[in-house]
Structure 1
Amino acid sequence: MDKLKPALQSQYAALLVDMVCENSSQRLNLLSKAEIRPALLSSQDALLNQEQLSRLIHYAVEQSNDPALGIRFGERLNLMTHGALGQAIMSCNNLEQALDLLLKYYRTRMLSVDINIQHQQDMMVLSLSSELDDPLTYRFMIETIFVCVVRINMFFFGMKLMINGKVEVTYPKPDHIDAYLHTFFDGIRFDQPRNALLFESHLLSLPMAMPNPSALKQAEQACNQILARLPQKQSIKEQVRLLIYDEQRGFATLDEVATMLHMTGRTLRRRLTEVQTSYRQLTDHIKLEQAKARLSAGNTVEAVAEKLGYSDPSNFSRAFRKQAGIPPSEYQNTLSKNQ
């Protein structure tokens, strides 16, 4: 993890500090321990980096003596605390449009957590992934986001989202399980392979209470302006794909790629699992791409197998057939016939 990467809008830090501090003396003391300048919290569009975020969360939990602080913080957040993004969501026609906007603009508010939304049979899955290594910071952010999303939906739609919905998280059951039950009831699952909120897909058509096309347009313009000022970010899959293979060194190991990404091998495995892939799957896909390109260029099966690191051409042939559906020799013959 690159601890100097931008992580979170400073306005959230200001809200957290105000939540756990009773007076200005406590506030200044907390910020001093977290090594955050007070002026940063009042600066428009300023961002905390990952190191500042982690220190702030640790000292805020310590000062509040509340292990469920992430849950409490999520309960405090409403649409108005999310700036232009909140205004845009509030002005949407229905839940589907609101989720589309969340997916499009969430980086205007946070950069340490990635959001993905997809269909899964008759359910919608809103999943979270993060490169945060520190367990407390990681759990705090996942707790805050899921509680915030569910609470906002309760405000608009009552209990509909959670009637047959559930929340899955990758970390073990914490001691403050009662705080989870207050929001998620019996729909929370721990030690899962992903962080995900699942709800019935037919709920996407639920109408928002205050649709406003004019306000939506203005809010989107503001979000686009913020996005334009943010550093561009590639997905974890894109980053790994670029680092797996190099013409000179060949294929890198998972630990080698993790080191290049400033994270541990364990964190890299977890982040890839969160986006429904694995290092092996990405490597196999790149090997298939390389094999097809080399076979198309007229290289023999034996030469391609050696170049891609297979100890035996038969092993390469089996791997190629498993992914492409046909042996490499047949693939070459097909290319020749089509030329």
Structure 2
Amino acid sequence: MNEPAQVRAINGVALLADYAVTRGLAMPDILRGTGIREQQLQDPNAEISLDQELRLTRNVVTGVHNEPGLGLMAGLLCHPPSFGVLGFAVMSSPTLRHAADIGVRYADLWFTIARHALVEHGDELWLIRDDHGVPADLRRFSLERDFSAIATIQQDLVPMKVPTLRVEVTVEPHPVYEMFATMLGVDKITFGQPRSLMAWQRNTLDVPLPQANTATARFYEQQCADIVQRRRSRDGVSGRVRDLLIRHGGVTDQSRIAADMDISVRTLRRRLADEGTTFRELSNETIGMLAEELLVAGLTVENVADRLGYSSVSAFTAAFRSWKGQPPGHFARVHRGRAIARV
């Protein structure tokens, strides 16, 4: 059975289409075979599948003849306000490090089609890129665009160039990449490496952002989380897992869910990781939702704890408090009788 397509924000391809137009491509050629309508590109709330994004990216890369360095120019168009709630969450973050954490956590709301991870390595912080999910014919353009966009966004956030210790990339050297080094604020780029990464001194990313606002950052981060959760609830492997968890009343393990889906536990873990989640996260989310529904419906805390398979009321109470920031008894008194809608 084919898995439902991964849902993506349209912002990244909208900017890519704008770039392609500046390179002389016509919109019908940019959108050919994607199923994306031109008016969708103007709707910041529109969503597309990963396959549609890859098709449009391939149209652009083919149309500009895939020359080295063209992705660098595409990345220059990536500015935080173009990415809606994620852009505002990044802009209002307290520090550059926090902004980077948010950007990596909600990558599907950005411009990138690769996976990135922030890893502390001694006194250094590494941004490690994994582009195994990017088709081979798009990897160079995608890498150029992503690293150029990171440098562009960093300069938008703070009025100074944060020094980069080193940059390693999988692509081979080319004269145009002298501009790449200047753009990234690094003396030298090491080419032909098995993986791509950027490295900074950890403390250099502790620089405060001029538009920092804790309340605003929390608000937009929650908006990002809500968008991601809505997508997980209806699409992909995570949506199927959530449905099966609900069918089992939340009381089951991943081996049973994997068996229901006729796949191995290892495959289930890998596919969930590809969608940016884990079985534990989905299980906790689903149990939390079921707990809310049962409490609203009038069941006692003891009954809910028993129905959801908790060994004790205290264990359930501790878990519920971690989800909702309040004990289940208080939640039940406030919300009893109200409808809790599933997203």
Q: Match for 2:171: what amino acid?
A: Y
- Aligned pair partner of 2:160 in 150, 158, 161: 158
Q: Report the counterpart of residue 208 of structure 2 in structure 1.
A: 207
CA distance in 2, matches of 1:261, 1:175: 39
Query: What's 2:54 paired with?
Result: 54
Correspondence for 2:13: 13
- In structure 2, the residue matched to 1:222 is 223
1:76 aligned residue: 77
Deviation at 1:223, TM superposition (A): 0.8
Contact in 2 for aligned 1:84/1:219 (Cα 8 Å): yes
Task: Provide closer, same or farther for how the CA distance between residues 62 and 24 of structure 1 changes in structure 2, counting only shifts above 3 A.
Answer: closer
The residue type paired with residue 82 of structure 1 is F
User: Is contact 1:7-1:110 (8 Å) kept?
Assistant: no
User: Match of 1:97, as an amino acid?
Assistant: H
How has the CA–CA distance of structure 1 residues 116 and 182 changed in structure 2, closer, same or farther, with 3 Å as cutoff? same
Superposition deviation, residue 226 in structure 1: 0.8
| Cα deviation 1:126-177 (Å, max 9, x = unaligned) | 1121343522322222222221112222341523322xx2221223335643
User: Does the C-alpha gap of structure 1 residues 148 and 16 become closer, same or farther in structure 2, counting only changes over 3 Å?
Assistant: same
Cα distance between partner residues in 1 of 2:99 and 2:44:
24
Q: Which amino acid aligns with 1:11?
A: N
Is the CA contact (8 Å cut-off) linking 1:116 and 1:128 kept in structure 2? yes
Deviation at 1:30, TM superposition (A): 2.2
**2:155 is aligned with 1:148:** no
Map of 1:194 onto structure 2: 195
Structure 1 residue runs of 5 or longer lacking an equivalent are 236-241, 263-270, 272-339
Task: Specify the SS of the correspondent of 2:225.
Answer: helix
Percent identity (aligned): 21
What value does the CA root-mean-square deviation take over the aligned residues? 3.6
Once residues 11 and 56 of structure 1 are traced to their aligned partners in structure 2, the CA distance between those partners, rounded to angstroms, is 13
Classify the secondary structure of the residue corresponding to 1:77: coil
Distance 1:25 1:174, change over 3 A: closer
What are the Cα deviations for residues 207-255 of structure 1, in whole angstroms up to 9, with x where unaligned? 11111123212212211221112237899xxxxxx99xx99xxxx9xxx
How far apart, CA to CA, are the structure 1 residues paired with 2:190 and 2:20? 28
- 2:9 and 2:110 in contact (8 A); partners too: yes
CA distance in 2, matches of 1:213, 1:15: 29
Write out per-residue CA displacement over residues 284-317 of structure 1, whole angstroms, 9 at most, x where no aligned residue. xxxxxxxxxxxxxxxxxxxxxxxxxxxxxxxxxx
Pairwise mapping of residues 23-102 of structure 1 onto structure 2 (< 5 A)?
26-65=26-65, 67=67, 68-102=69-103
The structure-2 alpha-carbon separation of the partners of 1:213 and 1:72, relative to structure 1 and needing over 3 Å to count, comes to same
Q: How does 1:235-246 map to 2 (within 5 A)?
A: none
Deviates more, 1:92-101 or 1:33-42: 33-42
User: What is the deviation of 1:90?
Assistant: 1.0
**Pairwise mapping of residues 300-315 of structure 1 onto structure 2 (< 5 A)?**
none
CA distance in 1, matches of 2:109, 2:220: 12
Maintained 8 Å contact 1:10/1:42: no
Answer whether contact 2:112 2:146 (CA < 8 A) is retained: no
| Closer/same/farther in 2, CA of residues 116 and 99 from structure 1, 3 Å limit | same
Please give the alpha-carbon distance, in whole angstroms, between the structure 1 residues aligned to 2:33 and 2:8: 18
8 Å CA contact retained: 1:154, 1:161: no
Q: Counterpart of 2:16 in structure 1: which amino acid?
A: L
Q: Distance between the aligned counterparts of 1:173 and 1:23, measured in 2?
A: 24
Structure 2-normalised TM-score?
0.60
1:90-131 deviation digits (Å, cap 9, x = unpaired): 112212222222233223336732221111121100112134
* Residue in 2 that maps onto 1:125: 126
Which residues in structure 2 correspond to 1:241-260 (within 5 Å)?
A: none
- Check conservation: 1:112, 1:131, Cα contact below 8 A: no
Amino acid corresponding to residue 161 of structure 1 in structure 2? P
C-alpha distance in 2, partners of 1:145/1:97? 19
Q: Deviations over 1:171-217 (max 9, x none)?
A: 33356434423413533222212221101111132111111123212
Describe the SS at the equivalent of 1:204: helix
Cα 1:210–1:133 shift into 2, 3 Å: closer
Alpha-carbon distance between aligned partners in 2 of 1:112 and 1:95, rounded to the nearest angstrom: 22
Deviation at 1:25, TM superposition (A): 9.0
Instruction: Classify 1:7/1:111 alpha carbon distance in 2 versus 1 (closer, same or farther; 3 Å).
Output: farther
How far apart are the structure 2 equivalents of 1:187 and 1:181? 6
What is the TM-score of this pair, normalised by structure 1?
A: 0.60
> Could you say which residue in structure 2 is the equivalent of 1:177?
177
Q: Within 2, Cα distance between the matches of 1:229 and 1:222? A: 11
Q: 2:287 aligns to what? A: none
Deviation at 1:44, TM superposition (A): 4.4
The superposition leaves residues 39-86 of structure 1 with CA deviations (integer Å, 9 ceiling, x where unpaired) of 443444444434333332232133334622221111111111221111
* Aligned-pair CA distance for 1:34: 4.4
